[in-house]
Amino acid sequence: MSESQAPSASDQSRALTLGWLPPLTLTASVGVLTVAAAFAASRHGESLAMGLWWTGLVVVYAPVLLRQLQPGVTRLERLALAVLLGVALLLVKVLYMPFQLQFSDEFYFWRSAMDILQHHHLFVHNVSLQVKPVYPALQEATAAVASLSGLSVTHAGLVVIDVLRPVYVVALYLFYEQVSGSTRLAGIASTLYMANPNFLVFDSLYVYEAFALPFAVLALYLAARWLTSEGATGRLPGVFFWVVALTVVVAHHVTSYFLVAYLAVWTIVAFQQRRSGHQARPPLRTTLTLLVLILAWILFIAPGTLSYFNGPFNFVATRLAGEATGKLKVVHGFVRPQGPLAQTILDLGANAAIVLILLGTFGFVWTRMARWVGMRVALVASLGYLGVLALRLVPDGAELAGRSMPFIYLPLSLALAAGLLANRARVGRTVVRTLLPFGAGMLIIVGGLASGFPASWARLPGPYLPASWERSDNLQSAQAAAWVGSHFPGDQYLLTDQGNMPYMAAYGGELPTDTASWIMFVPTLTTELQRALAIHRIKLIVVDMRMSDGLSQRGFYYYSTEPQAYVRRQPLNRELLTKFEKADFLDRVYDSGDIIIYTVRGRNP
C-alpha cells in the first residue's frame, strides 16, 4: 500500500520528471473550457448547459484520479497534479462569478473589511454582521491589500482568497503524505478531498471559512510532521506552528474547533497506540494550549460566538424534541439535493459507496497501518462521517451536515483512499483491479458535486431569480444599495427581502432586519402597521417588484416562517408590494423600474 515513501535520493532523477502532467494539464483546460461553455450556454438559456457543466467537471477530475491511482508515479507529478486540480477548480469558480462577490455572506465580509478601512481598527461592532467582525483575519488581510495597492475591497478580497489556493492544496497533499507515508495515498486522498461538496464553490468564496481552512490544514501538517518525525524534540511545536494556529483562531470559529478536535483525537489514539506497544507522541500539551487560546479568544474578544451558535443548534434540538414528544410534525425529512432525480441517485450512490468502503476496509487498513498513528487518527476521525449522514436525517440538519463536509472530508478522504487501494489489493483480475477503485472514486466525486454547494438551481449562472442567493445577484440591487449608501446616514434599520438584504448591508451601510417583515404580507397599511414600523425603528423600505414575477428558489422571500414559506406555488401578489403607494407617511424617493425605495416619515402616528 505504501508503495512510495517520502522521496529518497536514489530515485531523484525519476522524481523530477513531470510524467503525465503536461497532457493532463491539457485535459484539465479542456474541462475548464467546457465549463465556460456551460456557463455561457446557461446565461443564454440553452438547455444543454447542465450537461456541459457535468462533462467539463468529469473531464477535469477523471484523468487526474486515474493517474493518481496508478503506481509508479513520481512525487513531483502527484503533487503537481493535486495543484493542477485545485487551480482548475478555482478557475471554474472564477468563471461563475468573474468580477464580483455573489454569495450573500461575501457582502457581509466586504462590509466588515470596509469598516476596518474606514475606522482603522478591528472589531467594529455592527449588528447585521453578527460575529464576523470578531473573527477578522480575512478582513485584516483584505484591508492591508486594499490600502496598500489601492484596489477595491472586492478585488483585494478575491486576490487574498485566490492566493491561498496553492497553500490549501499543497498543505493537503503534505498532510496526507506525512500521516500515511505514501505519495500515492496522498495523491488519491487529495483528489477525493477536492470532491467534497463545498470545495468547488463555497471554500473559494470571500468568506472566513475559505480563509481559515488552508491554515488549519497547514497547521495539521506541521503538527503531524513534528509528531511523526524521528529526532523531533520539544514538548510543543515551534513558533511557526503557533502563528499559523493563531491565524486559524482569529479567522474562523468552527475551523479552530475542528483543529483542536482533530488534535484531541490524535492525542487519544496516540495514548492507545502507546498502550499497544507502538511508538507515538500524544500532542496533549499542544491540544490543551490551543484549547486555552480558543477559549481566551471567545471569552475576551468574541463572547457573542456562543449565542451565535445557540440559534441553529437550538433549532435542530427543538425540532428533535418536538418530534420525540409528538408535539411537532416532521416537515422536512431526509433532505435530498434539489434538482433532477439523477442527481439524487448520484448523491445516494456516493454515500453508499463511502459507507461501504469505509466500513468494509476499516479493519484491514487499521491492521495494515498499525505503525502509522496519523493514519489511525484519520480512520477514527473519518467515522464522524456516519454522524454527519445521521444529521442529514434530522429535520433541518441538512445545512449543518453540509457545512461540516470540508472538515470531515479531511480524514475521510485518506480513509477512502486507503480503502480503495486495499480493495485493489484483494481483487484478482487486472481490469477489475484498475476499474473498481476508479469507478468508486468517480462515484464519490460526482456524488459530492451533486450534493454540493450551491443548490442545483444556482449551479449555473443565469437570469435573476428573486430572493435566491447567488441567482439574485444583479446590478440593479447593487446600484440601489449604493444609492442608499451615498444619500442616507448608515446603520438605519431597513426592511427588505433576502435578495436585497446583503447589498443593503454592504453597499448601503444600513441594518436590514426581518423583525417587521410580516408587514409585507398584510394586504393594507393601517395605523397599527405604521406604529409597528416606528417600534422597529424602520427608516427605509426597499421593495423589489420582481418578487411578483417569480418564486424564490430558497422557499421564502423575507423570512423562513413567513406565510406559505416552502409551499408557495405562486409569486407574491403584486398588490402586496404596491400597497405602500397609498400611505401618506411614506415617500417614494427612488425608482429604478424593479426596485422602489420608500422613506418612513415621523416617529409615531
Partner 1 sequence: MTGFAFELAVAASPLLNRAYTIVTPPDAAVGPGTPLEHYLRLAAFLVLVLLTGFTFQEATRRRTRCLEGERVATTIAGGLSLLVVGGLLLNLFASGLTSFAWLRFLFAALLVTGLISFVRRASNASPMPRRPRGKKHLRPLDLAFFGVALLLVVGGFWVDGRSVVQTGSDRFLQLWVLPEGGKSQSVLRIGVGNLEAKPVTLMVRAELMHSTLNTWGPLDLAPREQWQTKFDVAGRAGRIRVEIFRPGTADGPLRTVSYTLGRP
Residues numbered 399 to 458 that lie near partner 1 (CB under 8 A) are: none
Q: Which stretch binds partner 1 (CB under 8 A): 6-14, 64-72, 268-276, 347-355?
A: 6-14
Total length of the chain: 605
Is 487 one of the binding residues for partner 1 (CB under 8 A)?
Answer: yes
Contact criterion met (CB below 8 Å) for 486 and 510: no
Least distance in angstroms from the C-beta of 136 to partner 1: 7
561-580: contacts with partner 1 (CB under 8 A): none
Is 32 a binder of partner 1 (CB under 8 A)?
yes
Give the shortest CB-530-to-partner 1 separation in angstroms: 13
* Position 534 contacts partner 1 (CB under 8 A): no
**Should residue 588 be labelled a site residue for partner 1 when binding is judged by CB under 8 A?**
yes
How many Å apart are CA 216 and CA 211, to the nearest integer?
A: 9
Is the Cβ–Cβ distance between 436 and 427 less than 8 Å?
Answer: yes
* Residue in 473, 467, 477 with CA at minimum distance from that of residue 553: 467
Q: Does 587 bind partner 1 (CB under 8 A)?
A: yes
SS3 447: helix
Minimal distance, residue 401 CB to partner 1, in Å: 29
Question: Within 212-241, which residues bind partner 1 (CB under 8 A)?
Answer: 214-215, 218, 225-226, 229, 232, 238-240
What is the rounded distance in angstroms from the CA atom of residue 236 to the CA atom of residue 103?
39
Residue 525 within binding range of partner 1, rule CB under 8 A: no
* Cα-based angle 553, 554, 556 (whole degrees, multiple of 5): 105
Site for partner 1 in 108-147 (CB under 8 A): 110, 114, 116-117, 119-123, 136-137, 140-141, 143-147
In the list 48, 127, 243, 296, the residue contacting partner 1 (rule: CB under 8 A) is 243
Write down the least CB distance from residue 177 to partner 1, Å: 8
Which of 179, 207, 244, 263 forms a contact with partner 1 (CB under 8 A)? 244
Q: Give least dist CB 468 to partner 1, A.
A: 15
Residue 531 lies near partner 1 (rule: CB under 8 A): no
Distance CA 551, CA 571 (A): 5
Host H or E run for residue 43: helix 21-43
Tell me the closest approach of the beta carbon of residue 168 to partner 1, in angstroms: 9
β-sheet bridge partners, residue 106: none
* Least Å from the CB of residue 509 to partner 1: 11
Question: Virtual CA dihedral for 341, 347, 352, 358, nearest 10 degrees?
Answer: 170
Closer residue to partner 1, CB minimum distance, 430 or 604: 604
Q: For 599, phi and psi rounded to 5 degrees?
A: -105, 145
Region near partner 1 per CB under 8 A, out of 37-45, 308-316, 332-340, 433-441: 37-45
Please write down the HEC assignment for all residues of 153-192: HHHHHHHHHHHHHHHHHHHHHHHHHHHHCCHHHHHHHHHH
Question: Among 72, 428, 523, 602, which residue interacts with partner 1 (rule: CB under 8 A)?
Answer: 602
Taking the complex as a whole, how short is the minimal distance between the CB of residue 73 and partner 1, in angstroms? 14
For partner 1, which is the closer residue by CB, 238 or 363? Answer: 238
Q: Where are the alpha helices (DSSP H) in 325-397?
A: 341-368, 373-382, 384-393
Contact segment (CB under 8 A) with partner 1 among 10-18, 57-65, 401-409, 446-454 equals: 10-18
Least CB distance to partner 1 at residue 34 (A): 8
Specify whether the CB–CB gap between 21 and 84 falls below 8 A.
yes
The continuous run of DSSP H or E covering 511 comes out as strand 511-513
Q: Is 352 in the site for partner 1 (CB under 8 A)?
A: no
Which DSSP symbol is given to 263? H
Q: Single out the residue of 72, 277, 523, 593 in contact with partner 1 (rule: CB under 8 A).
A: 593
Q: Residues 162 to 201: which contact partner 1 by CB under 8 A?
A: 162-167, 170-171, 173-174, 177
DSSP result, 426-489 = H--SHHHHHHHHHHHHHHHHHHHHHT-SS-GGGSS--S--TT-GGGG--HHHHHHHHHHHHHS-
Note whether 78 and 184 are within 8 A (CB). Answer: yes
By beta-carbon proximity to partner 1, the closer residue of 33 and 320 is: 33
Considering CB under 8 A, how many residues would be counted as binding partner 1? 121
Member of 507, 557, 558, 580 binding partner 1 (CB under 8 A): 507
Residue 459, interface with partner 1 (CB under 8 A)?
no
Q: Does 26 bind partner 1 (CB under 8 A)?
A: yes
> Which listed range, 365-373, 405-413, 480-488, 535-543, lies at the site for partner 1 (CB under 8 A)?
480-488
**Is the four-CA dihedral 143, 87, 379, 399 of positive or negative sign?**
positive
57-96 binders of partner 1 (CB under 8 A)? 75-76, 79, 83, 87, 90-91, 94-95
Binders in 274-333 for partner 1, by CB under 8 A: none
Q: In a 3-state reduction of DSSP, which class is residue 512?
A: strand
CA of 401: how far to CAs of 387, 412, 561, 573, in Å? 9, 14, 22, 35
Exactly one of 152, 318, 524, 561 binds partner 1 (CB under 8 A); which one? 152
Residues 6+ apart with CB under 8 A from 91: 32
Q: 307 CB contacts (<8 Å, ≥6 apart)?
A: none
Out of 71, 150, 326, 428, the only residue in the binding site for partner 1 (CB under 8 A) is 150
**CA 284 from centre of chain:** 29
Nearer to partner 1, 323 or 549 (CB): 549
Tell me if 99 contacts partner 1 by CB under 8 A: yes
Residue 561, number of CB atoms within 10 A of its CB = 11
